[in-house]
């Protein structure tokens, strides 16, 4: 099934206007406008969730020395701090249709800054979707921990999968983030928990919502401050 994701819908954000016209975007995405292949398919089906080795703190903190900020979503557009694009993807025929719409919201992020708002709908049984963010082949061997901040805005608690991919997407490591509610959660995952054969070159960060993992079938989350920590 994983290979068939080449037919998924991808909604790319090209400008800040997208963030300000979410309703139009949603309508366009729901209508299946401009479908394009997902950059890389998610690894399906979801494996057993690994025992949580990650620490989940209560509030965001400043990045330590030597950390690499990947994206803080404080600027308009769909380009991260590494010069990589980001966007949304969703399953489509022959699999059941899902919906995923992402946008940079100028105030939904941590501390009222910009954040990556993700609306997903996997209410059709067997559908799945998420978002992707390119990592520009960074050298993950310099770091020990992957970090992001996340909250749910429309429903909760939400469980979802985060993936790190290397070698052009050939290798996929997964971690399940659980219990995301209305308060910001800082998720820190040791890179070893992704069980990747190598930590370079880092190709992509992906979110995945599927029925095996995500019990809330229609929801909205905001991600902010994606970083690698030494
Ligand atoms: Ca931010």
pLDDT in tens, 98-146: 999 999 999 999 999 999 999 999 999 999 999 999 999 999 999 999 9
Q: In 3D, which of 118, 115, 120, 116 has the Cα closest to residue 90?
A: 120
pLDDT in tens, 199-225: 999 999 999 999 999 999 999 999 999
Virtual CA dihedral for 12, 204, 70, 119, nearest 10 degrees?
40
Q: Confidence class of residue 156 from pLDDT cuts 50, 70 and 90?
A: confident
Q: In 3D, which of 77, 67, 205 has the Cα closest to residue 134?
A: 205
Q: CATH no. for residue 101?
A: 2.60.120.430
Q: How far is the CA of 52 from the centre of ligand 1 (A)?
A: 25
Q: How far is the CA of 48 from the centre of ligand 1 (A)?
A: 31
Question: Encoding tokens for residue 178?
Answer: 């659980």
Q: How far is the CA of 35 from the centre of ligand 1 (A)?
A: 28
- The rounded distance, in Å, linking the Cα atoms of 70 and 79 is 10
Domain around 79: 2-43+52-229
Q: Based on the structure, what is the number of domains in the chain?
A: 1
Q: In what order do the strands lie in the sheet with 128-138?
A: 9-12, 86-90, 128-138, 202-210, 158-166, 171-180
Question: Encoding tokens for residue 143?
Answer: 């770091």
């Amino acid at each position: 099934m994983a290979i068939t994701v080449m037919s998924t819908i991808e909604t790319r954000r090209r400008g800040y206007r997208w963030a300000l016209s979410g309703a139009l975007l949603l309508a366009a995405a729901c209508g299946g406008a401009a479908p394009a292949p997902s950059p890389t398919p998610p690894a399906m089906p979801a494996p057993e969730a690994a025992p949580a080795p990650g620490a989940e703190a209560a509030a965001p903190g400043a990045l330590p020395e030597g950390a690499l900020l990947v994206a803080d979503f404080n600027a308009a557009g769909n380009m991260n701090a590494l010069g990589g694009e980001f966007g949304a993807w969703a399953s489509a025929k022959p699999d059941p249709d899902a919906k995923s719409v992402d946008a940079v919201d100028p105030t939904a992020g941590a501390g009222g800054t910009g954040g990556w708002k993700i609306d997903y709908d996997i209410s059709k049984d067997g559908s799945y979707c998420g978002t992707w963010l390119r990592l520009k082949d960074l050298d993950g061997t310099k770091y020990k921990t992957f970090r992001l901040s996340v909250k749910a805005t429309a429903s909760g608690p939400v469980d979802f999968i985060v993936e790190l991919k290397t070698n052009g997407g050939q290798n996929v490591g997964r971690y399940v983030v659980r219990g995301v509610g209305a308060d910001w959660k800082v998720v820190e995952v040791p890179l070893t928990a992704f069980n990747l054969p190598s930590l370079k070159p880092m190709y992509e960060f992906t979110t995945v919502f599927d029925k095996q993992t995500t019990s809330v079938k229609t929801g909205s989350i905001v991600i902010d401050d994606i970083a690698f920590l030494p």
